[in-house]
Amino acid sequence: MSILQLRNHVPVGGPSTREPADGTESPLRVSLGFEPAWYHRRCGVSFDEPWHRDPYVRFRGMRKMIAELKRAFPSVPYWETSNRAATISGVYGIGLVPGAFGMPQIYAPDRWPTLDSRHRLSVGRIERLTPEGPLQSPLVEELLRQMEIIEGEWGLVWGYLQWQGVLNTAFNLRGPELFMDMYDRPGLVHHFLGVIAEVMIRLARMVEERQRQSGFDIDLLSVSNCVVNMISPEQYREFVQPQDRRIAGSFTRFGVHTCEWDVTPYIEVFSELPRVGYLDMGIMSDLPRVRAAFPDSRRALLYSPAKLKEASPAELRRDMGRIARELAPCDVIADDILAETPDERVRELLAVCRQLEECAAA
């Protein structure tokens, strides 16, 4: 089967995720996103609990945010084409799957929800885990209720949830003890990650089938391995890779997000996964080696929001030039842009990437 690519997608008001590539992507495609404080200060939108639980509150806020983005960055074409005001994108932040396992979130008006670490799982609770409990949790019932409201009010149940990955979710639910468990209780870790993978697969299938019934064609899951740098490639192969393989085989499109880290040590173990349609990394990675190892995948590089805030035009040209030479065609992900970052800096990034594309085409 041919690899079906994904591209980065930052929903308005939501954390970065992935969406299907359609073949129109430019060689140095910029994927923009802003931290909640950016919207809160400019639009007065609150990301407190009602934003995540009430589709009407979210709809009103989305309309304000999309209008502000169009005003500030009119040259960006996808504010409305890749986003809708009636959406499940960004709902519960990164806490959907941990929330299904019973971990509550702490909400705030100007940041993403954070998971309440006081509710981490003990060894005994992990030993008793089965997929059925999370799949029948109140949070899942609430998400399905929201989807019913959206279809009844606006028709299409559009949007991309942030599913995280088995390692991220296990770390959030168990804490740092997870890494000691890999040495002291490997059987427990295999069981734990297996239950998480089963919940992710079954819940994503349930949600996406409901979306397809409304007319939104979606069949994908991109795993987020943000804490993979806390384990060795060998540990990834032993504990996480079997579950990522299961997930990859359960959806038409599959991708791997690693955050803004050095992906170089993990190139080999990620290349062993089937049909990787997307892989992202940080700029310290061996970019030519990544391009050689994943020639058919849509590649992406996360550009630090702190670096973007301080970068001079010369630094942007240098960094984007390297990315264009060593990784393109690819996405340049500038997400979680800080509220203090000048709009002109964002426009400079867009202009530099556009100039590099024009030079390459000449």
Query: How far, rounded to the nearest angstrom, does the alpha carbon of residue 197 sit from its chain's CA centroid?
Result: 17
- Parallel/antiparallel/unpaired status of strands 6-9 and 17-20: antiparallel
**Residues 82, 9 contacting (CB under 8 angstroms):** yes
If you write DSSP's letter for every residue of 249-275 in order, what string do you get? TTSSEEEEE--SS--GGGHHHHHTSSS
Contacts of residues 205-210 at CB distance under 8 Å and 24 or more positions apart, as own/partner, are 205/250, 206/135, 206/144, 207/88, 207/143, 207/147, 207/161, 210/144, 210/147, 210/157
Give CA–CA dist 115/107, Å, rounded. Answer: 9
**Residues 228, 266 contacting (CB under 8 angstroms):** yes
DSSP H/E element including 5: none
Cα angle vertex 100, ends 114, 248, to 5°?
100
Taking Cα atoms as reference points, which of 254, 292, 258 lies closest to residue 1? 254
Q: How far is CA 18 from CA 54, 228, 276, 296, in A?
A: 23, 19, 13, 16
Question: Does domain 6-361 correspond to CATH entry 1.10.3720.10?
Answer: no
> Could you report the per-residue pLDDT of 147-168, keeping only the tens digit for each?
999 999 999 999 999 999 999 9
What's the DSSP call for residue 231? Answer: S
Q: How far is CA 247 from CA 131, 164, 209, 220, 319, in A?
A: 15, 12, 16, 9, 34
Q: State the pLDDT at residue 1.
A: 42
For the beta carbon of residue 259, count every other beta carbon within 10 angstroms: 17
For the beta carbon of residue 41, count every other beta carbon within 10 angstroms: 12
**Residues 91, 100 contacting (CB under 8 angstroms):** no
User: What is the value of pTM for the model shown?
Assistant: 0.96
Kindly calculate the radius of gyration of the chain based on its CA atoms and give it in whole angstroms: 20
Q: Which residues contact 74 (CB under 8 A, 6 or more apart)?
A: none
Spans in the chain with pLDDT lower than 50: 1
CA atoms within 13 A on the CB side of 153: 14
For the beta carbon of residue 235, count every other beta carbon within 10 angstroms: 19
Beta strands (DSSP E) in the chain are 6-9, 17-20, 28-34, 105-108, 111-115, 220-224, 253-257, 278-281, 298-302, 330-337
